[in-house]
Structure 1
Amino acid sequence: MRQLSSLDAQFLNVESPTTVGHVGSLIVVDPATAPGGVWNVETVRDLLEPRLHLAAPLRQRLVEVPLGLGRPYWVDDPHFDLEFHLRELALPSPGSREQLGEQVARIHARQLDRSRPLWEGYVITGLEDGKAAFYSKIHHAAIDGVSGSEIIETIMDLTPEPREVEPEAEPFVPRPMPSTVDLVGRGLRSLAMNPLEVVRSVPKSLSYLDQLPGAAGVPGVRLVSTTAGMVGRALGQHVPDLDARDLRAPRTPLNGPITAHRRFAFGSVPLADVKRVRNHYGMTVNDVVMALTAGTLRRWLLDHDALPTSPLVAAVPVSVRTKDQRGELGNQVSVMVAALPTDVADPVERAESMRRSMLQAKRHFQAVPATLLQDLSTAIPTALSGLAARALFRLATLPGVPFNLFVSNVPGPQRSLYVAGARVEGIYPVSAVTDMTGGLNITLFSYDGHLDFGFIACREMVPDVWKMVGYLADALDELVASVPD
């Protein structure tokens, strides 16, 4: 049994009729490279089944602690059925990229069954040019971006010929499900230990409470942070004085209460072009990505006559996973906040402004404890955590939003990969949107010489999400054109 961390539990608790807590990926493949050109649900199942032991969450389900006395546990599913989780569908041939995106959006909008392991996989055939795809989703309570990438690697190989995998030492025999008495006992012990955990971690983090996105606008938060900082310094703790940043996210059509419906679009840009811009302007790859995002959003907002005069504000997830934590499951993540210069018309000036904004965001982020989100999640009583999480994610209904959207960059391998012999042509993330985080999420994965972008959006807020794929490519072309040959 493995108990969810306090942060893991928040991803579970935010789910509502309009919000899902899972993340996914769309892997586009070329079946022509598979043995005999055959690639279907049977060949994928034959590959995945002997590798299930390499990714524990695939065979584990949740059990709740009665009366909310403690956070849920992951346990072996005694009724695990691979055929339930691995499914097949076909688009009317030849299925276009837009039709594939629509199908993925519909599947992604459906919540996972909590009585089973929290993942599903879909083998999708019938795509144009003879291509196929594998879409999968898994709950964010089980993984973050880095550990999710490690799970995806379970079904991937470096050559068309699948690698030999060391079999399980013993056949999979699920442990007995914990009894109600056992769970209640664990919950009571957790309640007894929670105050000690809070006392150990939260007081140090309270000094940084106002650094959480949007927290500074909540009445009393600055006073709590200032007071905690003064007390900490009096006790000899190192509490740095952080430069004040007045990041105010403007209202846009991307922000407000979302619906349960989604749209999904995807596309790629050459990594070589991104690096060319990076080298010329003294940026990082992620700086360039953020500049492209700013250019894309500027054009989309102009389309809708909704471009604010001030910059948009983006939340950027950052992995705080240490080398010692590599391979561990659950979430080891924090959030950095940066201004997106959507108010700057010139692409070169916009890129330079983005570089300065990211430098400032990184300095600010590095001064804040990496475990801030985890520590403050610990302070929420287990029985109230669901209410607290849902209340937090409804903040978008109030005046002022903490940020306009999430933009996430997940590093990946720069070489070809294969799934059941089929060459992987692209790996497109499918993330999540909420009332608080905005009706659009842009996540990208670097793979084999290109950056693969996934745009997931509330269907009613961004009905024309495919335009953003083209705008992204145009934004890169503008910057590449500004670089001397």
Structure 2
Amino acid sequence: MVDRVRPRDLTFLEQESPQTPQHNATIEIFDPGEGPDAFDHAGLVELIRDRIAFVPRYRQRLQGVPGHLANPVWVDDEKFDLGFHVRRSALPRPGTSAQLLELVSRIVSRPLDRSRPLWEIYFVEGLEGGRVALLSKTHQALVDGVHTVDLGQLLLDLQPAARALEPDDWSPRRPPNPAHLLADAVRDNLTDPGELLDTVRTGSRALARTADRRSERARAFLAAATGRRPRTGSVITGPLSQQRRVVTVETRLADYRRVREAHGGTVNDVILATVTGALRSWLMTRAESMGGLRQVRAVVPVSVIDEELEATSLGTQIAAHFVDLPVGEPSPVVRLHQVSYSFQAHKDTGRSVAANRLAGIAGFAPTTFHAIGSRVASVELRRGYQISVTNVPGPQAPLYAAGARMLASYPVPPLTPDHPLAIGVTSYDGGVYYGITADRDWIPDADLLGACLREALDELIDLSSASRQRAPRGRRTARGPKGSAKDT
């Protein structure tokens, strides 16, 4: 029985082009420790070697079916080389954050090699302060949260001492020969009408994709001939180049809780209000100004309980929630209340899952949630949103990889066609970490958006402090009765 690529996973393979590589990435910063037990590249290789057996898909590659008579299949990579996937890099010491992000930007711009398992991890040495970074890249077709979780979820422990695991004696199975694949495809198409329909749809999409790429090449040729690139779209929507720019911002969770206590809502509401304020300030600095833009339509993947959706290994389902970010509103507090109102309607459905419950799920890791969230955003392209914002509540206790403490975790979400900007957020161990992915050509000032994020949060903090000072003595804040504060 062959392990055929599911139609939904195949969609992410079909959408991929040099301009839209379909992989998620994560930057994790570690304190490697000192002495002979310090975390290094060899230690990372051994850690992955010990745990990769829990995600068999990470040792499998794609194999097509002759004549495209059925979807491709997953087969064991008979030439699997862990050294190819776990790579070593370094910055000139002492490497700055800017140098690290430039390296990350170049790496995430490159599509993964489809002839091998669809993932890579880079061990980056030389950061200032003696720190090291892990940069992981995983294709969206690989991690569905149902059959396969992100490898990063398995590398982290709650304690510095690594878990003892059984030895892995894996050896690859021989891949099926073309004749067997052809026979399986014919049998499946004859016995399963749904399989035949998937095959027809796959062929139709392939033809449409070929036509689109020819059109893209024609536009590129025209741009090269005229010496200018056609600019169609808006400030935050437009065609993508093959290059990315990654920006990270570190903030503190306590600041969001302070704003929540003063004005109500949830930490998620405050984060989205911060994103809204940052977009407003950034748009106002652009030469195009805001052009009458009052709202930015955002898709925000959320965790829900819904039996009609595909269950994930996180214990919940992931659905798209659409919210209009009020970038035209000048008052930060009003922006917060408008965002809160949108999510209150979602909570009133009874489907929502509290952030503290989600972060407490055994084995939960933000990397898997970000991967599923990116899949949801990609599927919902037809709904006409302008930006995706994935906020994942992570554990508020330190995590370790081979004894090395993780200091920070920044998501690097992929870009979808005509969407040159995406934002990911992870809360972890008292911090809230933003990862901004932007098209290098369409949005050359992505670092300014990062600065605007800090300013938008500072503005909310200042207003919250002023609100508390004006509150009558003995008055309770929006937090409610003593001891009833929420963590969401």
Query: Structure 1-normalised TM-score?
Result: 0.75
* Partners of 1:146 and 1:319 within 8 A in 2: no
Q: Deviations over 1:300-350 (max 9, x none)?
A: 111104324320111122356879944499x97542221011111110011
Unaligned runs of 5+ in 1: 200-249, 368-391
Aligned equivalent of 2:456: 475
Contact 2:248 2:435 in 1 (8 A): yes
* Corresponding residue for residue 242 of structure 2: 260
SS of match in other structure, 1:343: coil
Render the CA deviation track for 1:396-453: whole Å, top value 9, x for unaligned: 9xxx9912111111232211011222211111111111224x1011011221111211
Alpha-carbon distance in structure 2 between the residues aligned to 1:257 and 1:276: 39
Verify: 1:426 aligned to 2:427, yes or no.
no
Partner of 1:309: 293
Match of 1:443 in 2: 424
Residues 59-458 of structure 1 correspond to what in structure 2 (within 5 A)? 59-144=59-144, 150-168=150-168, 171-192=169-190, 195-196=193-194, 252-304=234-286, 305-307=288-290, 308-319=292-303, 325-327=311-313, 333-360=318-345, 402-436=384-418, 438-458=419-439
**2:297–2:386 Cα contact (<8 Å) kept:** yes
Task: Work out whether residues 146 and 311 of structure 2, in 8 Å CA contact, stay in contact via their aligned partners in 1.
Answer: no
Give the stretch that moved more between structures: 52-61 or 275-284. Answer: 275-284
Aligned partners of 1:356, 1:316: CA distance in 2, in Å?
15
Which amino acid in 2 is paired with 1:186?
D
Q: Matched residue of 1:482: which SS?
A: helix
Partner of 1:54: 54
Q: Distance in 1 between matches of 2:258 and 2:191?
A: 53
The answer to whether the Cα contact below 8 Å between 2:143 and 2:150 also exists between their aligned partners in 1 is no
Deviates more, 1:115-124 or 1:74-83: 74-83
The one of the two structures with greater contact order (alpha-carbon pairs below 8 A, sep at least 6) is: 1
2:6 maps to what in 1? 5
Q: Secondary structure at the match of 1:185?
A: helix
CA distance in 2, matches of 1:472, 1:96: 20
Distance 1:322 1:173 in 2: 39
Structure 1 residue 87 displacement after superposition: 0.7
**What is the CA-CA distance between 1:353 and the residue it aligns to?**
1.3
1:11 Cα deviation after fit: 1.0
The residue type paired with residue 30 of structure 1 is D
1:67 to partner: Cα distance: 2.4
1:345-364 per-residue CA deviation (whole Å, 9 max, x = no partner) reads 11001111111233456679
Give secondary structure in 2 for the equivalent of 1:264: strand
TM superposition shift of 1:291: 0.9
1:353-409 CA deviation, whole Å, 9 max, x = no partner? 111233456679979xxxxxxxxxxxxxxxxxxxxxxxx99x99xxx9912111111
Residues 51 and 471 from structure 1, CA distance in 2 versus in 1: closer, same or farther, beyond 3 angstroms?
Answer: same
- Unaligned 5+ segments in structure 2 are 198-231, 353-376, 470-488
Partner of 1:460: 441
Q: What SS does structure 1 have at the residue aligned with 2:151?
A: helix
Q: Structure 1 147/341 Cα, relative in aligned 2: closer, same or farther at 3 Å? A: farther
Hey, what's the Cα distance between the residues in 2 that align with 1:328 and 1:360?
24
Residue identity in the other structure for 1:335 = A
Separation in 1, partners of 2:383, 2:8: 22
- The answer to whether the 8 A contact 1:263-1:465 is kept is yes
In the aligned structure 2, how far is the partner of 1:365 from the partner of 1:72? 39
Q: Whole-Å Cα distance in 2 between the matches of residues 263 and 254 of structure 1? A: 14
Does structure 2 retain, via aligned residues, the 8 Å contact 1:19–1:260?
A: yes
TM-fit CA distance, 1:12? 1.1
| One-letter amino acid of the counterpart of residue 180, structure 2 | D
Per-residue CA deviations over 1:110-159 (Å, capped at 9, x if unaligned) read: 11111111000100011112211010101001114798865212211223
Following the alignment from structure 2 to structure 1, what is the Cα–Cα distance between the partners of residues 282 and 188? Answer: 49
User: Residue type of the partner of 1:20?
Assistant: P
TM-score by length of 2: 0.75
Q: Which moved more, 1:357-366 or 1:475-484?
A: 357-366
Is contact 2:302-2:321 (8 Å) kept? yes
Per the alignment, residue 380 of structure 1 pairs with none
Q: Deviations over 1:281-309 (max 9, x none)?
A: 33122222211111111111111043243
What is the distance in 2 between the residues matched to 1:136 and 1:100?
Answer: 14
Alignment of 1:15-30 (within 5 A): 15-30=16-31
Alpha-carbon distance change, 45 to 67 in structure 1, aligned in 2, over 3 angstroms: same
* 2:200 alignment partner in structure 1: none
What is the number of residues matched between the two proteins? 402
**Contact kept? 2:143, 2:149, Cα under 8 Å:** no
Alpha-carbon separation, structure 1, partners of 2:107 and 2:241:
15
1:470 to partner: Cα distance = 2.3
**Distance across 1 between alignment mates of 2:394 and 2:5:** 26
Contact kept? 1:252, 1:306, Cα under 8 Å? no
Aligned with 1:339: secondary structure? strand
Q: After the TM superposition, which parts of structure 1 deviate over 4 Å for at least 4 consecutive aligned residues?
A: 144-150, 192-199, 319-326, 360-367
Q: Please tell me the residue identity of whatever aligns with 1:191.
A: N
Distance 1:268 1:193, change over 3 A: farther
Instruction: Kindly provide the amino acid, as one letter, of the partner of residue 445 in structure 1.
Output: T
Deviations 1:79-124 (A, max 9, x none): 1100011111111111111111110010001111111110001000
CA contact 1:433–1:457 (8 Å) conserved in 2: yes
- Measure, in 2, the Cα distance between the counterparts of 1:252 and 1:160: 48
